[in-house]
Chains A and B, each alone.
Chain A
Amino acid sequence: AQKVTQAQTEISVVEKEDVTLDCVYETRDTTYYLFWYKQPPSGELVFLIRRNSFDEQNEISGRYSWNFQKSTSSFNFTITASQVVDSAVYFCALRGGGFKTIFGAGTRLFVKA
């Protein structure tokens, strides 16, 4: 069975703080893909990153960085110097050998000015 766990339901930070959103996944597939999506208050799903199971290199994109560790089945997401516009729900997701993508429950991030 596949599962994605985002243990943090809500996080509240003050602008310019760094924040890490945790994601732990379970899968029996040897090839799989991990994703992060952002859902702002307007409701759409915005793709942030995709990682495949063979690529454990960490990635940085501007203020965003991702730490993929197969040994702990984690794919954590860090926002550096958070801004109010980062306030949203963030979903971690997993797609294994099949067609469907399994989403975690999401972490709601509040960034206060």
Chain B
Amino acid sequence: EPEVTQTPSHQVTQMGQEVILRCVPISNHLYFYWYRQILGQKVEFLVSFYNNEISEKSEIFDDQFSVERPDGSNFTLKIRSTKLEDSAMYFCASRGETSGPRNEQFFGPGTRLTVL
């Protein structure tokens, strides 16, 4: 069964460094998402991406964050200058058709980001 993949599974970085988290969504999906989960807390929406542009973003998704779909398969989240509070699990998700029986989001396994 097709699945969303994410790399790396764990990333450790120094405060102030740039990180890029990578995702390969399910191949025929149209909607792409990033969510974040700080340890022990709930899953929070960061951004959605459709038709090669951001369709919606949360207050968390400030100028330090950016997303890109550089080719037909990858979907990346960049954090320009990481802060300690960016330490979290980052989940990528993708979704297919807008309605119908298969419009749930499928989540990747997550990338755990640790900022020291």
Interface residues of A (CB under 8 A from B): 33, 35, 37, 43-45, 47, 50, 91, 93, 98-106
Contacts and interface: CB of A to CB of B under 8 A. Distances in A.
25 contacts: A33-B103, A33-B104, A35-B104, A37-B107, A43-B109, A44-B109, A44-B110, A45-B43, A47-B104, A50-B104, A91-B42, A93-B43, A98-B56, A99-B33, A99-B48, A99-B50, A99-B55, A100-B33, A100-B45, A101-B45, A101-B105, A103-B44, A103-B45, A105-B42, A106-B42
A99 B103 CA distance: 11
Contacts of B75: none
Given A100-B56, A103-B42, A105-B41, 17 more contacts: A33-B103, A35-B104, A37-B107, A43-B109, A43-B110, A44-B107, A45-B43, A45-B91, A47-B105, A47-B107, A93-B43, A99-B33, A99-B48, A99-B55, A100-B33, A101-B105, A104-B42
A4 B48 CA distance: 19
Interface residues of B, number: 23
Nearest to A6: B42
A44 B5 CA distance: 11
A93 B45 CA distance: 11
A100 B48 contact: yes
